[in-house]
Structure 1
Amino acid sequence: MLLRLLARNRLAQDSGAVARFLPISRGSTMTTDYAAWGWPQGKGLQGLKLIRKPLPRPAAHELLVANTAIALNPVDWKMIEWGPDDWSDGHVPGVDGAGVIVAAGSAVPMRPGTRVAYHQALNRDGSFAEYSLIDARCAIALPDALDDALAAALPCPGLTALQALDKLPQGGTEDVLVVGAGGAVGNLLVQMAVQQGFRVWASASPAHHEALLSAGVTGVLDYHRQGWQNELQSRLGLRRLHALFDTVSGEHAAGLAPLLGYNGHLVCIQDRQETAPLPAFSTALSLHEVALNSVHAHGSESDWRAYQRNGTALLKQVAEGQLKPSALLPFSFAELPEKLRSLKDGERVGKWVARLQNA
């Protein structure tokens, strides 16, 4: 049985510092551990198993969040299959979650009882659990009108899309192309680019065309069709693309680089360009990599303020209907490994999100 939160604002001691707590119990017994999906070294997705871990207490700048919703992202199954060097047996994967703060470190202004969404660092135990211990800077308070499941589905794709768009000089009416616009990142990126005034083109499978056109794209192309790049160039006429956002792979992005005009921008949301895709002193492309997780290791306080500002604006826009995320695909916590495999295999169109019973 998943855990319940009870009374509010009880003080507890943690290594000599005062942390603010909501007492946590399972029935009549105070909780000391929690359920999580643990990573087994060398076994990939097939080896994920449900384990129990001791309930941690936050340090001065940390928060303990009782997860109410967990969202799956492609980076999750990729990391589980790859097995980073800093993971060990029992590491909890998962970057995106939402829930209620049940304990706050002494230096954190957020209080227990606050609903938040977060993007967790890959090297820390993640969101595939009943509880997550996070750096307080990555927690974003939820608008009252925003559902927890929808909030959990936003940090990774939404903040990635914002970071990708921030690679360009802001605003303008230039032509830009979003490749893979039917995915969670591409869908939000298209809408954000339209809002900034760009003339947006999209490539996606036919199932997404109607929604993309209603979002304001100038044109949408089916990447399954032979010669879709030529069709795009024909529709552009004498114009050339100012920017190309690729959500597929570095190799795929390099193959599309000739579509860009002089001083264009090639933005890789998957992988990066290790070598320039075009000869030097030709179209003088600017190459960009997007790595949201890097803020955890390399972000300055200014970068974290931008993360908070962007995250707050993102959640507000979704709550007010100004941005429409991918459709949610609900599943139970017990089905998590199965749905990760479905995500890897591309079986369904939408965003896999589990609701937990912490309440």
Structure 2
Amino acid sequence: MAIEIPEKMLAAQVVEFKKPHKIHEIPTPGKDLDENDLLVKVAVASLCHTDGMVTNGAFDTNLPCIASHEGAGTVVKVGSAVQGFKVGDRILCSLTYHRCGICSDCQGPEQDRQYCANVGGYNGVTRNGAFAEYEVVDGRECWVLPENVSFQSAAPLACAGITIWGGLVRAGLKAGEAVAIVGAGGGLGHLGIQFAKALGLIVIAIDARDEGLQLAKDCGADTIVDARNGKDQVVEEVKTVTGGEGAQATLNVSDHETAAATSAAVTRMHGLLIQIAQPENVAVPFHELVFRDIRIHGSLTGSRTEGQKMLDVVSKHKIKVKTTEFNGIKEVPKAIELAHSGKMSGKPVIIIDQQAIEDQKRSEIEMI
């Protein structure tokens, strides 16, 4: 049975760089849906660090653009060529839109397939995203949600989750090995702790905020290190719990100017630093990089197959996504204000489809 779709919807748009979002009604998309696309009624969308970069014009986004690339919702319309989805499915929306499928990245190793030089765009970054009642997404890129994963937990996984998961994939560690996470108490870091524990890794969590350190502890990190004690003390504490060597690999999700240097310093000789954070410059002293043979690997997100593995782990291990909820698109400015205050613990999520959330509550399934 066809679902009635309104002519207009509420959305939060970037209409001018370095200015607040404009929250107003605009035409609902999807009337002429591409054969490979889905129209999704957005249930929850979350705020990401990248949203601030979009607002500041870092990606030369064509304006106006609906913000947020972290969305989850219900399929209401399916393109004629889409397979594996039907109206009514609960899905996690992908960031990527219309990869070419034929370039060296699209045809390359699985962990590189999220890259594409000829990509059609990125939702919420270069094309319209999830801070709206409806969103058009690529049906070849999205995922059906496991039945026990709530919309609130799912939305941050669209970017934060797959980004930190992709970093762990690139680290290539085996169960029993040690990973350090710098910025462990943030939106990406707290997920990384839980993912790493689910994979059998020993987790060393490094953060410089009381809220972040507490969240890292709550998420099960084996060792908690306060970065405010200075690099020398941080390195000493990491060596103490790793037999004097340091972590086999370190994931840096902090954009603080000294974070990359600290990350390299806590990594053992010949070890691997996965740089995920996106500061203007990544600065590592040469004596860490050269004299200790530290390898640095930049990491963005992860492929569709890796995203499915991530969702399976979230469902099986009941990974908890720390969120702060805001009710309705009109509260986007409040979410941004709290995120910029430095007091945010976890991820800010915007509840857009209240009925979908109520339906979850009535389910007999215990939701994550």
1:230 Cα deviation after fit: 4.2
Shift of 1:283: 1.8
Taking structure 1 as the reference length, the TM-score comes to: 0.80
SS in structure 1 at match of 2:65? coil
Name the SS for the 1:325 alignment partner: coil
Residue 263 of structure 1 is matched in structure 2 by 270
- Give distance in 2, aligned partners of 1:151 and 1:234: 35
- Equivalent residue for 1:171, pick from 167, 174, 179: 174
The one-letter amino acid paired with 2:249 is A
Q: Pick the aligned partner of 1:95 from 61, 65, 69.
A: 69
The residue aligned with 2:79 is: 105
Which residue is 1:351 aligned to?
Answer: 347
Amino acid in structure 1 at the alignment position of 2:248: H
Q: Structure 2 residue aligned with 1:202, among 200, 205, 208? A: 205
Deviation of 1:160 (Å) = 0.8
| TM-aligned CA distance change 1:347 to 1:54, over 3 Å | same
Q: Using the alignment, how far apart are the partners of 1:216 and 1:161 within structure 2?
A: 16
User: Are residues 1:315 and 2:311 paired?
Assistant: yes
* CA 1:310–1:229: 2 relative to 1, 3 Å: same
Q: Is the 8 A contact 2:195 2:313 kept in 1?
A: no
Please give the residue correspondences for 1:210-229 in structure 2 after superposition, counting only pairs within 5 Å.
Answer: 212-213=216-217, 215-226=219-230, 227-229=232-234
Counterpart CA distance in 1 for 2:177 and 2:198 is 13
Equivalent pairs counted in the alignment come to 319
Structure 1 residues 250-291: Cα deviation after superposition (integer angstroms, max 9, x where no partner): 743432223322211111111277676425752222111121
Q: CA separation in 1, counterparts of 2:290 and 2:135? A: 49
Aligned residues of 1:222 and 1:228 also touching (Cα < 8 A): no
- Aligned twin of 1:336: 332
Following superposition, the deviation at residue 42 of structure 1 comes to: 3.0
| RMSD between superposed Cα atoms in Å | 2.5
Deviation for aligned residue 1:214: 5.4
CA distance in 2, matches of 1:132, 1:329: 20
Looking at structure 1, the residues matched to 175 and 286 of structure 2 have their Cα atoms a distance apart, in angstroms, of 25
Q: CA deviation at 1:119?
A: 3.0
Residue 332 of structure 1: how far off its partner (Å)? 2.4
Q: Flag structure 2 segments of 5+ consecutive residues without an equivalent.
A: 96-121, 357-368
Change over 3 Å in CA distance of 1:209–1:47 after alignment to 2: closer
Question: Which position in structure 1 is the counterpart of 2:128?
Answer: 125
Match of 2:360 in 1: none
Aligned with residue 40 of structure 2, among 47, 50, 65: 65
CA distance in 2, matches of 1:347, 1:186: 15
SS in 2 for 1:153: helix
Structure 2 distance, partners of 1:68, 1:175, is 37
- Shift of residue 96, structure 1, vs aligned partner: 0.7
2:307 maps to a residue whose letter is: G
Residues 173 and 147 from structure 1, CA distance in 2 versus in 1: closer, same or farther, beyond 3 angstroms?
Answer: closer
- 1:153 is aligned to 156
> For the pair shown, which has the larger CA radius of gyration, 1 or 2?
1
Secondary structure, aligned partner of 2:229: coil
CA distance in structure 2 between the aligned counterparts of 1:275 and 1:220, rounded to whole angstroms: 24
What do residues 122-180 of structure 1 show as CA deviations (whole Å, max 9, x unaligned)? 21200011111111123211122222222223221111111000112231433321111
Matched, 1:50 2:46: no
